[in-house]
Amino acid sequence: QVQLVQSGAEVKKPGSSVKVSCKASGGTFTNFVFSWIRQAPGQGLEWMGRIIPIHGTINSAQKFQGRVTITADKSTSTVYMELNSLRSEDTSMYYCAKYTDSGDGFDVWGQGTMVTVSS
Amino acid sequence: QSALTQPASVSGSPGQSITISCTGSSNNVGSYNFVSWYQQLPGKAPKLIIFEVNKRPSGISDRFSASKSGNTASLTISGLQAEDEAHYYCCSYAGSRTFSVFGGGTKVTVL
């Protein structure tokens, strides 16, 4: 049973950066593809990007290109999402999620990390 | 503005069937059989209930079914139960530049 455990809540100032971690357990890390998805308070889901750890391929949504960095550490089975130049609109719950084996859909989710951007 | 359009709310009485639509375009829903649906209970992470248009993951009730026609995907919940009250989101693959797009979500209320 694959589990994803994310780092704790963060409060950041506008203009700063945040780095959220997501540690996978219960499976073979390099067999998986991970995405980051965020959800502003009371709003819908927004796909941010994905990483394929086995060969390091990274794709991100156009909206976040240049501002988001997604990485993976195979030695610790952990994926990271760093978002810089934070603004108040980035206040959201950030989720990591694993794609299904077929590549469609996200079948395992982390518990979420609340990032609050406030002066 | 979400790439996929869902009704903001749908309601039904216990035992009834309801259908949630998810309208996209030829850039996403209409071109790929990669539509997934998620149930999100208050304060919880989303849960996958449908993938590849109409497949249910192990452990998901067969009261959940889904289909696609043209640019519109649909999720049907039959035999509506109080525990089905939640937000539901659709998601579609949108090609190798955009990847994944979500609908704005639908709140299902059991009357």
The pLDDT averaged over each successive group of 10 residues in chain B (111 residues) is 94 97 96 97 97 97 98 98 98 93 97 94
Residue from the list A47, A100, A105 with its beta carbon closest to the beta carbon of B99: A47
Residues from chain B contacting residue A111 (CB–CB below 8 Å):
45
Identity of the amino acid at A28: T
- pLDDT band, residue A6 (cuts 50/70/90): very high
User: What single string gives the DSSP state of each residue in A19-82?
Assistant: EEEEEEESS-GGG--EEEEEE-TTS-EEEEEEEETTTTEEEE-GGGTTTEEEEEETTTTEEEEE
Rounded CA separation A106/A96 (Å): 9
Q: Is the CB of residue A93 less than 8 Å from the CB of residue A20?
A: no
Report the residue of B2, B99, B102 to disrupt the A interface, i.e. the one with the largest count of A CBs within 10 Å.
B99
